[in-house]
Amino acid sequence: MKKKPIIIIVSLLVLAGIVYAFVGGYGSQTEMLPETEEVEKVNPVGPAFNADSAYAFTQAQCDFGPRSMNSVGHDRCAEWIVNRFKAYGCKVEIQRADLTGYDGTVLKSQNIMASYRPELTTRILLCAHWDSRPWADNDPDSANWHKPIMAANDAASGVAVMLEIARLLNQDKKLNIGVDFVCFDAEDWGTPQWADVEDDGESWALGAQYWAQHIPGGYAPRYGILLDMVGGQGARFFQEQMSKQYAPDIVKKVWRAARSAGYGSFFPKTDGGAVTDDHIPVNDFAKIPTIDIIPYYPDCRQSSFGPTWHTLADDMQHIDKNTLKAVGQTVIQVLFME
Ligand SMILES: [Zn+2]
């Protein structure tokens, strides 16, 4: 995924707001407070998310090496993901397609779709990409810019959280709505920073673009939640701007669930950046209101996605079980409050 240029416009609007407030346009701070303050009880529902298990699922994907498009690690990892979801009682389908990368490379794409209780009509979509970036083009050392990343966080962590949820739902058997876990391929072959080609944003999320234009007729989950980079150290999940535009009610629902699950500190009720990610085509083409849980590091100089984003440091040493737990338990809370 990458940042959307819209962030500049947003920043300008925020700046204008600050200037407006500074010249006395807004009410005083003390007048504003009671409106924004909410007293909410922590009341966890559903099974306890096991962060050790999610961590092991993250490690297992990394053990295949980089999972970039058309690589051996990629295909072996696909098989492993399919077998895991099947072991947890899901009905699994693979959607294969030949997609074209920004550089003309034919990408052998496999979107993996696993369904918990496929017979139920009320459904929620959870999704994450599973391919890894072939180039560490944001690495501080330019000698690494053409090397593949291990992608423990981006995005083994998202698939790991989904697998742990599938494992728990199968064990618990109490959730009476259907859940579809979609692992998107070909997200991270987007135009590298070192390329001579201009990045118009279209070269990202290719698997999700394909999926969203080829979903079975009549498939209409209530909403979707995309998980991207949900295991990083020091991650905080600000409210992503495109999610707020497409599905403001779902943003509210998920951030409220985080607070009632006891993980509100990981989910500040504050705007983050605007991001080009798999949720864009799912909203645009499939018309499923879908939000993105993605970290935002306002003070990180390396990237607002965090210090390891598209660098060789995106490895297991920078995965934090506390982050996996906060996100996993929040998604469980959302499902069981439905
Ligand atoms: Zn990425």
- How distant, in Å, are the alpha carbons of 1, 148, 238, 255, 299 from that of 304? 12, 21, 11, 20, 7
pLDDT band at 40 (very low <50, low <70, confident <90, very high): confident
What are the φ and ψ backbone dihedral angles of 41, each rounded to 5 degrees? -85, 140
* Angle at which helices 248-261 and 321-337 cross, to 10°: 110
Around ion ligand 1, which residues have CB less than 5 A away?
133, 154, 188
pLDDT in tens, 109-128: 999 999 999 999 999 999 99
pLDDT of residue 1: 75
Q: Is 228 exposed, middle or buried (0-12, 13-18, 19+ CB in 10 A)?
A: buried
Separation CA 61–CA 130 (nearest Å)? 9
Q: Which amino acid is at 145?
A: W
Find the 230 Cα to ligand 1 centroid distance in Å.
12
Average pLDDT, the chain: 91
Find the 188 Cα to ligand 1 centroid distance in Å.
5
Separation CA 255–CA 266 (nearest Å)? 9
pLDDT in tens, 52-76: 999 999 999 999 999 999 999 999 9
Find the 277 Cα to ligand 1 centroid distance in Å.
9
Query: Contact 111/95 with Cβ under 8 angstroms?
Result: yes
State the pTM of this model: 0.91
Find the 2 Cα to ligand 1 centroid distance in Å.
7
Beta-carbon contacts of 82 under 8 Å, excluding residues fewer than 6 positions away, are 92, 94, 112, 114
Length of the chain in terms of residues written? 338
